[in-house]
Every structure is written in structure tokens, then in C-alpha cells.
Amino acid sequence: MRKFSYKPVLHWFGFTRRERRSTFLLLILILLVAGFRFIIPERNITVEEIPVETGDISDISFSQEKESGSGSYIKNHRTNLQRPLLEINTSDSASLEALPGIGPVLSARIIKFRKLLGGFASVDQLREVYGLSEEVFGLISSRVYADTTAVRKISVNNADYKELIRLPYFEKYEVTAILKYRELKGKIENIDQMIDNKLIAKEKAGKLRPYLEFEKK
């Protein structure tokens, strides 16, 4: 059998002996570097948080809650920054304008409606302010409250037409009916009597109740 000779191949590449040796060593080095990844396993290197000495215990608890990932850190942090609620029956225009979504126009409308009502009996009544959207109400409802002791009441048995019609929830025909009933029957005892005698609709009683009082003549 004829012995295989590498000489033709070497001559074809045109390498000298020194070049062949250098090429062989370079090939071995490449193989070693490529195989290094399979020989040595990967390590997940994590950066540990360096504890900071502090005398504030609250800072430590916040750090621990943050690491737990429970979300309580954000909740507690927000609680600490919570602003005091705004009382809408005594607040001025500047205070109202500080609320999100309330500008000078809406502030003026809130105050005007408050005067017509004689005060807000509920925060939900802000929904009745012209131009105040549900989106804005959602932004401010948790930041305000209504002091019901500030509500101005109307004496059903002593008020005249002008006083009664001032309340936005009354219609003209209802005020006329109330005055006529008082003239014919005398005093009105309570709001249920007004419903039973068709002076007001039952559905409206809830809105009117905080603003009416039934003193004797």
C-alpha cells in the first residue's frame, strides 16, 4: 500500500516549518478557550445589598418590606405622605383649586352650588356640579369630606316661597303644593307626611331630608 504523504498538502498551503508550528499552537489555544466554557460551570453573581447603619427603625422596616416584594412598602410609604382631608363646606376657592382636576371655573361652580344647597350633606353631591366629570370626582372624592353640621336647614312650616324654592331639589309645583297644604291642613309633621300627601316624590325624599326641619309654627 502506498504511504500517504502530507508534503503535497503542505506545499499547497506554502507553509514553512516555523509557520506550521505556530499555526498548530494557535489552533490548540483556540480549542482550549472554546472548551473552557464547558469545563467551568457558570456562576450567577448577585450584588448583595450592603446594610447601612441607622438609628431610624422605620427605615429598616421599609427596607425589609421592600425586599419582600409584597407591595406593603409602597402602601406604608403613601400612608406616611397622606394629606389631611379637605372639608368642602368651609373651604375657599384656593383650597378647592389645589385639588386635582379642579381649576378656577369648577371651584367657582362648587361654591355657587354649595350656597344654593345651604351646604353639602354628602361628598357624592359634587357629582351634581355642572362640568365636574366622573373622572375628576374619582380623583378628589377620597381627599374631601362634608361636615353635615354646616348644612343650613329650611323650616318647612315657616319658610315662604322664596326660601323653599332656593333649594335646587324643589320644583315650583312642589313648593306651591307645600304652601297650599300648610294653608289648608296646618303644620307638616315630617317628610313622610309630605310623601303620603303627594307633596314630593318618594324618590326625592333622600335628597331633601338633610335640608328640611319640621318646627311648629
The per-residue pLDDT for range 25-78, each reduced to its tens digit, is 777 878 777 776 666 655 554 544 444 444 443 443 434 444 444 443 334 444
What does the alpha-carbon distance between residue 197 and residue 181 come to, in Å, rounded to a whole number?
9
CB 175 within 8 A of CB 164: yes
The model's pTM is: 0.59
CB 74 within 8 A of CB 85: no
**90-143 pLDDT tens trace:** 999 999 999 999 999 999 999 999 999 999 999 999 999 999 999 999 999 999
Q: Which domain holds residue 24?
A: 8-39
Of the residues 150, 166, 187, the one at which a domain ends: 150
Residue 49 lies in a domain: no
Residue 25 lies in a domain: yes
- The enclosing domain of 134 has a CATH number of 1.10.150.320
Q: Do 90 and 141 belong together in one domain?
A: yes
Residue 202 lies in a domain: yes
Of the residues 105, 132, 150, the one at which a domain ends: 150
Residue 47 lies in a domain: no
Residue 190 lies in a domain: yes
Residue 21 lies in a domain: yes
Q: How many domains does the chain have?
A: 3
